[in-house]
A and B are shown apart, each in its own frame.
Chain A
């Protein structure tokens, strides 16, 4: 008998394939995608639609002016933009966080159902009778929710930039295509998503109510909303060093959370108490 690794790529991949097949056959899987598309329309309506409808440029608003001053200070790429182009760049910059946020919230339903769903379908017991470790199970369940979220995030990013290039003022899309944006989308976003989903999966392993598990994820979303608001009001700006520091902190939190999730996962309680 050989010793089993804490996390086996083979086992994780095996279960991940099952999860993806299961997801593709589920009609509910379309919903997060639709939510993302709808959410993406919001910044376009505000930055481009509102000035057209009201006939007043957004740059005349005092709060926006305050934000623009901050943007000019921290964001040299946008400083050369003028008038409405800078406003649009500012707004699209603010809503960039939403490109991170919406797929996460969409995937939370998947994560919330992960362990609970297996238990309710009575598929968990035979699964736990295999050499699958608790870490295998948790990692797979998080990845099963994370990967669709990342795909949605990538598609949303593509659509977002295509929309800015097509509908926005000249130079807006180019101003946003910065290393900071790349860090936000490809490092901070996935890390944050991983943590949020891990929290929900851990909650899913501790409760037999999917809605309850999902609520835990909402708590994780609060900091990102706070950053959005802080940036919007000019109180705070996510610079590259801040993003890098946050990414480092999130990576540590992710590892600690995974360890914690494994430590508090009670196979026996799930098998014997949940109905």
Chain B
């Protein structure tokens, strides 16, 4: 559980409907200072709606938002918006204006002291100084995104909401954005990042929230793996191929594995506690005559965790969608 004093934004039971469609249902979420939470979910899962509610652009139909301990009432107030930075899905730049003028307008809208100085600092920080006088329209997609991020952080927001910050960026640019997110966290700000990029989520986020209309899971990536797949140990046997390894599966079970999958000289053992069970499994295998070449923790890809949470086949229609009581999804409690 996040320490109460550290919580920057707290959403309780947020629900938002558009006509008959419920985009977000009973969402409760906390983001602490110095924490990055990744918001994952399929298209239409309510990620952008959640971002917009937290940014004060949409008022929730039900539920409350508390920002820095202050209830936002029916929605986030303009005064609160001064402390929030939102990177929208599209960069949203004024194409005919220069890079500098784009930032300067926002610096003035936020009524920052010495806006020119602040903009010069941002241009320098984001490597945009040499493009300052160029029209935003002339920038590459990556540079536009950089400028949009610079705009998002211009007023030093305490809560940073990033909607698909690396979508369409080349790997180098995406990496620099991830580095930036880590820097933001180091500065003690709270970051909520909506993304489809699971690798990115795992790299930058302290906790992962899986959304599918309602909150399906919220925890660290490791805890989500543990909850859904248990701890897994991968044992590679030397000189054992094909069905030869099957003979040692029983030895692994005897050593403490709850479940063993065998494939071509490899035993994939599901255990309750990797630290306690691994030595006894290895000892049991060695006693049974196996030649153990390597032992490592098996890390289930986050993709598998995610697909298990949201329903494995996105093309299968509403099978993955939450039912009225949300019972078809495994709820993973935040146990931090």
A residues bordering B, Cβ < 8 Å?
Answer: 1-4, 8, 10-11, 13-15, 17-18, 21-22, 25-26, 121-133, 267-268, 271-272
Per the bound structure, the CA–CA distance linking A4 and B76 in Å amounts to: 13
Specify the chain A residue showing the minimal Cβ separation from B102.
A18
Min distance, Cβ B92 to any Cβ of chain A, angstroms = 4
Q: What chain A residues lie within 8 Å of B68 (beta carbons)?
A: 1
Contacting A at CB under 8 A, from B68-95, are 68, 70, 77-84, 86, 88, 90-95
Per the bound structure, the CA–CA distance linking A26 and B94 in Å amounts to: 12
Asked if residues A122 and B90 are in contact (CB atoms below 8 Å), the reply is: yes
Q: What chain A residues lie within 8 Å of B320 (beta carbons)?
A: none
Per the bound structure, the CA–CA distance linking A129 and B95 in Å amounts to: 19
Q: What chain A residues lie within 8 Å of B88 (beta carbons)?
A: 122, 125-126, 129
Asked if residues B111 and A271 are in contact (CB atoms below 8 Å), the reply is: no
Asked if residues B105 and A268 are in contact (CB atoms below 8 Å), the reply is: no
Q: What is the total of A-B residue contacts with beta carbons within 8 Å?
A: 96
Asked if residues B97 and A22 are in contact (CB atoms below 8 Å), the reply is: yes
B96 in contact (CB, < 8 A)? yes
Known: A268-B59, A271-B58. A18 touches B82 (CB 8 A): no
Known: A15-B105, A18-B101, A121-B94. A126 touches B59 (CB 8 A): no
Asked if residues A4 and B78 are in contact (CB atoms below 8 Å), the reply is: yes
B180 in contact (CB, < 8 A)? no
Per the bound structure, the CA–CA distance linking A109 and B122 in Å amounts to: 35
Asked if residues A271 and B52 are in contact (CB atoms below 8 Å), the reply is: yes
Min distance, Cβ A55 to any Cβ of chain B, angstroms = 53
Q: What chain B residues lie within 8 Å of A3 (beta carbons)?
A: 79
Min distance, Cβ B14 to any Cβ of chain A, angstroms = 15
Known: A11-B111, A18-B97. A131 touches B59 (CB 8 A): no
Asked if residues B108 and A11 are in contact (CB atoms below 8 Å), the reply is: yes
Asked if residues A130 and B79 are in contact (CB atoms below 8 Å), the reply is: no
Asked if residues B92 and A126 are in contact (CB atoms below 8 Å), the reply is: yes
Known: A22-B96, A271-B57. A1 touches B79 (CB 8 A): yes
